[in-house]
Amino acid sequence: MDETDLLGEVKCLTCNVCARRCYLSAILGAEPDQEGNQGRTISVSGNACSNGLDYARDELLDPRRVISTSVATTFPELPRLRVTSQGGIPVDRLLEAMAALDGITVAVRLQQGDIVVEDLLGLGIPVVVA
């Protein structure tokens, strides 16, 4: 889906930045923002703090998710190793990221926080042992 498909449409979101978990209504406006980018203005209501506006903007314009999964190992006593991305992966690249992680086999002993993949998909996001 292209972000222009969302112009003028009310999106209901639940902000998960802080413990308040505000229920937001966000509208992506058709008018240009201060930098002249068409369709980049956002109207948000329901947020109790400024985090809600940032969350809604990110969710509408560049939605990302942290991946938590497992990768194969060569150790019979621990055939899978839990890993997590250290940052958000663009939603439209999640399947590609999972496929890349599916092809990894860890052959050295690692501890929590050790890096398994330094730069997932060239996004600058490391994947570490969970």
Residue with tokens 């292209």: 2
> Does domain 68-129 fall into CATH 3.10.530.10?
yes
pTM of the model: 0.78
Domain ranges of the chain: 3-62, 68-129
pLDDT tens digits, 38-60: 556 788 999 999 899 999 989 98
Cα 48 versus chain centre, distance? 22
pLDDT tens digits, 86-99: 999 999 999 999 99
CA 4, CA 72: separation in Å to the nearest integer? 40
pLDDT tens digits, 76-123: 999 999 999 999 999 999 999 999 999 999 999 999 999 999 999 999
Q: Alpha carbon of 37 to those of 11, 32, 53, 61, 112: distances in Å? A: 20, 5, 18, 12, 42
H-helix segments, the chain: 50-61, 94-102
